[in-house]
Structure 1
Amino acid sequence: MNLTKRTFLAAATAIALALPAGWATAQDRLSVVATTGMIADAVTNVGGDIVEVKALMGAGVDPHAYRQTRSDIVAMANADLVLWNGLYLEAQMEEFLLSLAESGNVVAVAEAVPGNLLLGSEDYEGRFDPHLWMNPNLWARVVVNIRDALIGVHPEGEETFRANAETYLTQLNDLARYTNEVLSTVPVESRVVLSSHDAFNYFGNAYGFEVVGIQGISTESEAGLQRIGELVDMLVARNIGAVFVETSVSDRNIQALIEGAAARGHDVIIGGELFSDAMGDPGTYEGTYIGMIDHNATTITSALGGQAPESGMQGMLN
């Protein structure tokens, strides 16, 4: 660890230790800080009225590049429980979170998923792809880890946490069934999802889609002119007519692909905007994990020639 990082971590730890003991536990509800919206949404569903959850990263925020602020440090230091994804998703925060874990309840909820269920990372040797939430069945395992973490810090709420988790897991099962049904209607030859970065590999693995990202698993990786050129060749050669933008990643490279294909006489449209590393705006359906995945599955199905209800799974239930 270089001197700058060591100094920063020491300062962060000092802030944590200087805060009043029991500040968070004095509140009426269990104080939980989650790095991503997907984790925070699961905590809300499992914890119910017992928890008060704060998500550090909101709609449109890229977790690969996010760095903790001073207010984030204070919130995490005072929380009864800090939950993060792990698997190097929060790459810029990892050292701080590992340091904080030495003196507090800090859990990387995705890292307890068995390694045989994880996909490898091409960007980082020896690490796994962190985007588990793209497969609802895998995310259900993370929800169980979140439930157990809540029980660990607040055993008095175990009965409530288990009951709420059971209800939420049933909803995730319904989501998995819906996504499988609609995505299976996409013609096999059209099952290609090309987007800004490799956030959809678990999706592709679960539903039999080829996934192509302009950038790698991390948005910190760069896409050069050669990569753009190769993908334009692919679009033209395979007659792919739709690509997708992401809410948390710039569409600059996608626009370059569309322009490159147009210069070759091949029209490509944007098939829709997908939620990759962040959910939608708070208070909206897409601002929930279920709404996020429902939106993605419905958008992809419709854009690639499959059959999905216009209002997605939500419309089917209403």
Structure 2
Amino acid sequence: MLFIETPNDYSILLIIFILSSLSFGLSILLRLRAEFSHSILAINAWKIISIVIFSVVLIVNGSITKSIILTAVIASLITSLIFTLSLTYKKLVTSIKISEPTGGNEDYKETEIFKLQYTYLISFLFFAILGSFDRVLLQYRVDINTYTSYLYLVSMLIFPIGIIGNYVGYRELVFIKKGKKINITTSIVKVSSFSTILFLIYSSLLYLARDIINLEFNYKIWLAVLIVVICKVPYSILSAVVGAKGESSDLITINHFFLLTLVAACIYTYFHGNIYTSIYLVSSIWTLRVIFYYCVAKKYT
């Protein structure tokens, strides 16, 4: 939305793309070394830095312009990369040993690897659309005030839970690959309870501060986001189990089904959607995905 009317700014977009890609690559390297806290820092520190910059600018200047947004994002990404590298460069220069498969049919292995790469690509595409389709398509269906209030509320509610979910998945995938035994049902109950309690506390604080931060609280949207929260953190464990032990045949069918479901949700939102149908479509898709992944993960635990 920032770049749609100013094509000359694509060079800035390219810089942001390169910096964010470097951050993501650094995060993966640290994750392979089981440096989970630093891995999360590499991919999320820029968000915190940006919030600080925006807050300072608002206090000093009273408003935020497009140029300030772009400058803040680039400065935050650079600062985040430098800071994370300063903490971890000694750990990154040592080699990372990756075990090689032995025995079996090599042609089968190559085919299986290709299938896994394909299904992970479909999964990435699915989450890229799921994370933004309601916000992209609603701009054609609702007025600007309703749209901005919805965008602000959903972003504020779901932001910290997304970080927690990613952190849980990051940790579990590496440990499961190393042979860790896990009780799926018990783990899901624990993380669901923890994330729900945390969300209730966090959203209560947002509600109390709603006048200060100019947040229009909507209970129907809050309930839909709560459903997403209850699903998102447990899903990170299920995804880790399936990703570590599952086969491509398990993933391809599921991801094709959910990609088609998501396309149908996008079409419905574009022609008939409002803020309630769109967010409840998101929560419904999350619920279905957790159920499907639970059934698959149970086979490997």
> TM-score normalized by structure 1?
0.28
- Pick 1 or 2: higher relative contact order, CA cutoff 8 A, min separation 6: 2
Where is the strand percentage greater, Structure 1 or Structure 2? 1
> TM-score normalized by structure 2?
0.30
